[in-house]
Amino acid sequence: MIPKYCFKDDEGQLWFKESLTPSVGNSLRVDELIYAEDSDLQHLILFDNETHGRVLAIDGLVQVSMSDEFIYHEMVTHVPLLAHGSAKSVLIVGGGDGGAMREIQRHPGVERIVLAEIDGDVITFSRKWLPEVSKGSFDDSRVEIKIVDGVDYMKTGDELFDLIIIDSSDPVGPSAVLFTEEFYASCHKRLAEGGILVTQSGLASVHSDVVENTSEYFSRIFKHHGFYAITVPTFSGGVMTLGFATDDESRIAPAAGVIEERFAALDIDTRYYSPAVHRGAFALPRSLEALLKR
DSSP string over 202-220:
EETTT-HHHHHHHHHHHHH
Q: How far apart are CA 197 and CA 164, in angstroms?
A: 5
Q: Burial of 79 by CB count in 10 Å (0-12 exposed, 13-18 middle, 19+ buried)?
A: buried
At residue 181, what is the residue type? E
Residues contacting 15, CB < 8 A, separation 6+? 6, 7, 8, 9, 27, 28, 29, 30
d(CA 37, CA 40): 10
93 φ/ψ angles, rounded to the nearest 5 degrees: -100, 115
The verdict on whether 158 is a catalytic residue reads no
Q: Are 192 and 160 in contact (CB under 8 A)?
A: yes
Catalytic residue among 167, 170, 247, 248: 167
DSSP state of 179: G
Report which secondary-structure segment, H or E, holds 249.
helix 249-252
Which residues form the catalytic set? 167
